[in-house]
Amino acid sequence: MRIKSVWGAGVLAALAALTVLAPGKTLAQESWPQGGFATGYAPPAVPLPYPLYNTHPEVGGLFIAGSYVMYNQTNPLRGRSQPIAYRGFVATDDTVLDAAGSAGTFVGNRNVALDANQVSGPYTFVPGFQLEIGWKFGDGSALTASFWWISDAHYSAAATLAAPNYQYRSDQAQTFLTSFVYNFPADFAGAPNKVTNSQGTAGPYSVYGIWNGASIMTIELIQRAEQFYMTYRKPFYETENYRASALVGPKFFWIEDKFRWITTDLNSFGITSPIYVGVYNNQVDNRNYGLWTGLQQEWYLGWGVALMLNLNAGAFLDVAKTMVDYQRGDRGGPENKRTRQFDKAAAMIQATPSIMWYPLEGVQLQFAYDFFAFFNQVSYDQPVDFNYSSLTPPYRDTWRWFNGFQATIAFIF
């Protein structure tokens, strides 16, 4: 089993360094920390050669921000089990064992070779970024638009003809992999001549079906997430070293889980082709549309350093869409596909503590730990439906959590 993530962390770090950060989560739009929250301004002793800040920050203006982030999220298959493939094969006629009435016999030790829980983890952090742009108004309020994206998390596992510990029987039955898919058409008959017997009388389709007596099976879980949201921030209480602000805005949050199972069938000569490959997909997209609100608290410690805590909650409509299909590797011939939609009420909670530093006028650095969870999301713990004609794997309502780190830089113009 292996884990990988796309997009190198170095590339995203360079992107974050060239872009800028989020005011719904920062104090970048204020003239803080000089004189606490005072609106006065003292020009720096040495003029700096960049077009940031101005001598009247109280009138407001543009700010932009960028973040390098790393997050992990719930894996829906963690702690669950669904056996997918077994070692051995099913004789589909009497010629394999050369015995009357032997059709339907499972040949092999029937040990589990592949299980859905093999792509359940361990959890991995994947890199991403957040881009934000906003405007601070003269009354101290601010409006921000933010886009957050993390790269795909990939979990994969495989079973091949190489049995564990090379424990082979003399009939080589352990080199075969079988899954009990049924109700499939003849287009999925698989490779002919998979096995021979000592008399050479085994029929060409005595082991029938791509998923019966296969040679290689791989499974993969791909997880994606992104969000777009807006924030209106309005301070409602402040002292010299403390400020509280109300937050509100719309949010779209998308979570995608895609399970893929690929089966490769070989004949006794080791020959395969796209028509001897079976592909199964089960994809779930939770698209959450709603509103969120929150409380932002800020404490100025001195020396250009401040602490912040954001506590947020939201209500959403989750438009969850599922897509399940069987197809051949050549994408020709028949394909059985089924889509469904579930419309559900959902909720979110979020907590984000952070520390901020103002090294220069018009520049802010922020380092944060972010945790949030979505409730009543559609997911699966047994992703495979072995009935080709049905395609109704069970789905369940669950919660999804994300946690990660943010390193941000903001510029105020």
On the CB side of 345, CA atoms within 13 Å amount to 1
Q: Which residue has the tokens 């903001």?
A: 410
Note the pLDDT tens digit of each residue in 398-409.
999 999 999 999
| SS3 assignment, position 63 | strand
DSSP state, residue 17: H
Evaluate the CA torsion angle 187, 188, 194, 195 in order and state its sign: negative
Note the pLDDT tens digit of each residue in 59-101.
678 899 999 999 999 999 998 999 999 999 999 998 888 888 8
Beta strands in 74-215 (DSSP E): 83-87, 89-90, 106-107, 112-115, 126-136, 142-159, 177-178
Beta bridge partners of 364: 410
**Cα separation, 221 vs 276, whole angstroms:** 23
Q: What is the pLDDT of residue 32?
A: 42
Q: What is the pLDDT of residue 107?
A: 92
Q: Which residue has the tokens 């559609």?
A: 378
Beta bridge partners of 304: none
Helix (H) / strand (E) containing 279: strand 277-302
396, burial (CB in 10 Å: exposed 0-12, middle 13-18, buried 19+): exposed
Q: What is the pLDDT of residue 21?
A: 35
* Residue ranges, the chain, pLDDT below 70: 1-59, 170, 198, 268-272
What does residue 186 show for φ and ψ, rounded to 5 degrees? -65, -20
Q: What is the pLDDT of residue 269?
A: 65
Q: Hey, where are the domains in the chain?
A: 2-412
Burial 154-181 (b: 16+ CB within 10 A, else e): bbbbebebebeeeeeeeeebbbbbbbeb
Cβ(252)–Cβ(228) below 8 Å: yes
Q: What is the pLDDT of residue 145?
A: 97
**Cα separation, 226 vs 134, whole angstroms:** 19
Q: What is the pLDDT of residue 55?
A: 59
**Cα separation, 299 vs 57, whole angstroms:** 20
Q: What is the pLDDT of residue 331?
A: 84
